Amino acid sequence: MSPRVVAGPTGPRNSEEMTIALPGGALWGETLDALDAAGIDTSEARSDTRQLTYAAGDFTLVQMRPSDVPTYVEAGAADLGITGKDVLLEQRDRALYELLDLRYGACRMVLAGRSGDERLGETERRLGAMRIATKYPRIAERWFEETGRQAEVIEVKGSVELAPLVGLADGIIDLVATGRTLLENGLEVREDIAPSTARLVANRVSHKLRAREVDDLVERLRKATWT
């Protein structure tokens, strides 16, 4: 069988197997479980190894940071990818297709402040703008724009919960699951912004050229995660 050619913005990629970009971190285990339930053998990906690419029958699985998945899929380095809705909201200008809500990895994007502290509201009333620390600056800016408020958005890469505790910001916008980390740092949710679950995305060219294979996998994953 001759290799297929999948075209992407960075050029054609020869591949017989369909390549799926997978998110490391919190979504990794549930993603492998979903693929197994869909009939994809993830035993190599579960092995104790430092490699980042894994053979899985008719598929090649590639492990990466969740935030990198849209980059690889858009560029055609991966045909499909799985990442959180939070990542897609932050990178919503990416040229790719969102195909399926996989219904696991449920979290929510929230605005949070110090428990019992009215600094968020007081700062807005006194200065006309809040200082908000976040790993999601685009989501934060859109949220305040859509709700008609002003905010100085401060992008941080590490533990965003630290920002209100040391006076860097009045509050934070972050992704939470149980809310335990907020509680342990003396923070509380003030506003819900958006829910987030794992999503299946596709390269636009692959979606067209490998439509039958893509549709088949979508249906298998739907059965695996929706029942």
Q: State yes or no: pLDDT of 177 exceeds 70.
A: yes
Q: One fold for both 4-106+197-225 and 107-194?
A: yes
Tokens (6 digits) for 220: 């298998």
Residue 125 — very low, low, confident or very high, per pLDDT cuts 50/70/90? Answer: low
| pTM (global) more than 0.85 | yes
Please, are residues 60 and 17 in contact by the beta-carbon 8 Å criterion?
yes
Distance CA 187, CA 202 (A): 37
- The confidence band for 118, taking pLDDT boundaries of 50, 70 and 90, is confident
- Note the pLDDT of residue 123: 63
Under CATH, domain 4-106+197-225 is a member of which superfamily? Periplasmic binding protein-like II (3.40.190.10)
Q: Which CATH superfamily does the domain covering 107-194 fall into?
A: Periplasmic binding protein-like II (3.40.190.10)
Average pLDDT of the chain? 91
Domain borders along the chain are 4-106+197-225, 107-194
Q: Specify the length of the chain in residues.
A: 227
Helix (H, G, I), strand (E, B) or coil at 118: coil
